[in-house]
Chain A
Amino acid sequence: MGKTVDGMSRAFAHLSDEAVVALIARSDEQALAELYDRFGRVAYGLALRILRDEALAEDAVQDAFLTAWRRADTFMPERAKASTWLLTLVHRRAVDLVRREERRRTEPIEAAGERAGEGPAEDAVWLRYERERVQAALSRLPDQQREALELAYYGGFTQSELAERLGQPVGTIKSRMFSGLGRLRELLAEPEPGERTWEPRPSTT
């Protein structure tokens, strides 16, 4: 995803995300800037989706990046993607904040996308591709599974709160989340319909 906004971080443009985090573990401030330039907008978009409040979303992003700064030495590149690590921190922080603030809502927020088009073209294309891919996979989930995943991940509801809200036993909610996430994993692993696929035949797994 290498993107740069100024000369400061240009030196890192060709590093993998994992290598950037390795530099952060050595207290390299420019590497932190690079990580922010790569993931700041995705992180903020996610936090805003959960928190519905620009100031709180910025707080969540700031806390998550500072946690990444402090904890980069615990990140193990051979074992996890840096993007998963960072966005997990962002998500955790946003969810903790929304539960504290009791501000969560589940309707889409229109204003969130207003400034979405500003990034460099390469970044926008990659993100649009990912967004469409994940949205398409989500749309193929059974409604109840999708609902459970969306309310949990974007709404910040715990499984017990979801059970109450949906009038179902906790075990049912748990199993919807488990099946939904497992199914989503399968769907995301499938070759793209309508795009070039591996020859000579699609994967059978």
Chain B
Amino acid sequence: MGTEALHDLTAAYALDALDPQERREYEAHLARCERCRDELASLSDTATSLAYAVDPASPGPALRERILSSARAERPNVVPLRPRWAVPAAVTAVVAVAAAIALAVWATSLSDKLDRERSHASAQERIAAVLAAPGAHPYGVPNGGVLTVTPNGEAALVLRRLPAARKGMTYEAWVAESGTPRPAGTFEAAGDVTAVALAVPVPHGATVLVTQEKDGGSQVPEHMPFITVKTA
């Protein structure tokens, strides 16, 4: 199969609509094609959203224990220190785990991109540290986004497709416990994903707000919040 034809299989692969031969060819191609790995990353999320359109259903109550006892029996098999993406050869080998491997393969390209964007490293590292912190708790933000708060109260706000602020205005985050909200930093919209590490901690039960304020920010919110996320 030609390379162009293989590019065209990304959607079908994301939907698991390839026969075994096509699947193997595509996975071999995937290991070499960064464009397809990027595209597959995105289309896999979309394809998987179809799983949520189905009514969830409860399996028999015994299934949980069956899975756990089988896992227990296999426990010694895990070898966590194996290099994670030294797998392209294996991609073609084991159909049952192909999806997991393919996800790891395309994922490597995202890592390369991140490496090239070290200019944002310090802010990104703060955000990444919050997102990866043990015990960090995510709170959904209406219209796409998540507020993540660590047990220490460090917090990161990730918003999807936030449009640019009005002319002369900036976004500002706030943390409210009781009384006047405290300013938690100003920020600008950044394309598809806007990620912000909040400048002040978020105590349990506090509310995180986002408003638009005049350029440079404000010490007290002068505009109505359009995001309000209450933490537990």
Q: Which residues in A have some Cβ–Cβ distance to B below 8 Å? A: 2, 14-16, 19, 25-27, 29, 32-33, 36-37, 40-46, 48-49, 54, 57-58, 61-63, 65-81, 83-85, 87-93, 95-96, 112-116, 118-119, 126-127, 130-131, 133-135, 137-138, 149, 152-154, 156-160, 162, 174, 177-178, 180-182, 184-185, 188-189, 191-192, 195-205
Q: Is A205 in contact with B46, judged by CB distance below 8 angstroms?
A: no
Q: Could you count the A-B residue pairs with CB atoms below 8 Å apart for me: how many are there? A: 289
| Bound Cα distance A19, B128 (Å) | 13
Chain A binding surface, main DSSP class: helix
B229 contacts A by Cβ under 8 Å = no
Which residues of chain B come closer than 8 Å to A93, judged between CB atoms? 96
B200 contacts A by Cβ under 8 Å = no
**Given contacts A62-B70, A76-B107, A149-B50, A113 and B55 within 8 Å (CB-CB):** yes
For chain B, give the interface size range: 35 or more
Q: Which of B63, B67, B78 contacts A25 (CB 8 A)?
A: B78
B87 contacts A by Cβ under 8 Å = yes
Which residues of chain A come closer than 8 Å to B48, judged between CB atoms? 83-84, 87-88, 91
Which residues of chain A come closer than 8 Å to B77, judged between CB atoms? 70
| Bound Cα distance A71, B58 (Å) | 25
| Bound Cα distance A73, B87 (Å) | 12
Q: Is A88 in contact with B103, judged by CB distance below 8 angstroms?
A: yes
Which residues of chain B come closer than 8 Å to A185, judged between CB atoms? 42-43, 45-46
B179 contacts A by Cβ under 8 Å = no
Distance in Å: Cβ of B120 to nearest Cβ of chain A: 14
Q: Is B15 in contact with A152, judged by CB distance below 8 angstroms?
A: yes
Q: Is B57 in contact with A67, judged by CB distance below 8 angstroms?
A: no
Q: Which of A16, A127, A134, A149 contacts B56 (CB 8 A)?
A: A127
Which residues of chain B come closer than 8 Å to A48, judged between CB atoms? 57
Distance in Å: Cβ of B75 to nearest Cβ of chain A: 5
| Bound Cα distance A177, B143 (Å) | 26
Q: Which of A16, A92, A116, A198 contacts B143 (CB 8 A)?
A: A198
